[in-house]
Structure 1
């Protein structure tokens, strides 16, 4: 469950501007503020089932955006390469350092 929450939060960070205000509000309350569906329902004057359906649809939308745009996956690749670069800099390995920089540049 923690992995799913972490992934959805990351996808939300990348794609939140593509969501409606209502979707953003529900996702922030549910994932960032840790509100229960009942608490969101009371706050929004909407049924618990409607909140649940909206959050699930929004999660699906975020996954679809990621399938098409891959912003999160590219971010993870860059982070991994930057960590490798950091190690290479510490070891003064100039040739491998150049190769890693080229890999970062090639990520679309």
Structure 2
């Protein structure tokens, strides 16, 4: 159960990195408090003078929006694919003769810097 919760938190944090600008300031703030700063629903509710249920609904809706954006735009999925390709390139690089390594390593580094 705890692994699933951590997995969900990590996914929301990654999606938030990609789609933060598409959320309202309030949605951003609630997600940051809950997922990044590890505030409880009660702590957030007290901070904004609203009910825990209202906080929960705001967070749930914002997380759903992040998932909807990912379903449509696939930025996280494409990022994951690029990272996998970079790892495969690095594995291939390790097997090349030394003479070819600097040029390919430079290309890999440039790709990694884009992410």
TM range (shorter): 0.7 to 0.9
| Off by >6 Å, runs of 4+ in structure 1 | none
Q: For structure 1, list consecutive stretches of 5 or more residues without a partner in the other structure.
A: none
The answer to whether 1:55 aligns with 2:75 is no
RMSD: 1.8
The corresponding residue for 1:72 is 76
One of 36, 42, 59 as aligned partner of 2:40 = 36
Count of matched residue pairs: 97
Q: Normalising to structure 1: TM-score of the pair?
A: 0.84
Distance 1:50 1:60 in 2: 15
**Structure 1 residue 39, shift from structure 2 partner:** 0.2
The corresponding residue for 1:2 is 6
Q: Which string of whole-angstrom CA distances, capped at 9 and with x for unpartnered residues, describes residues 10-69 of structure 1?
A: 001100000000000000000000000000001111111110000000111000000000
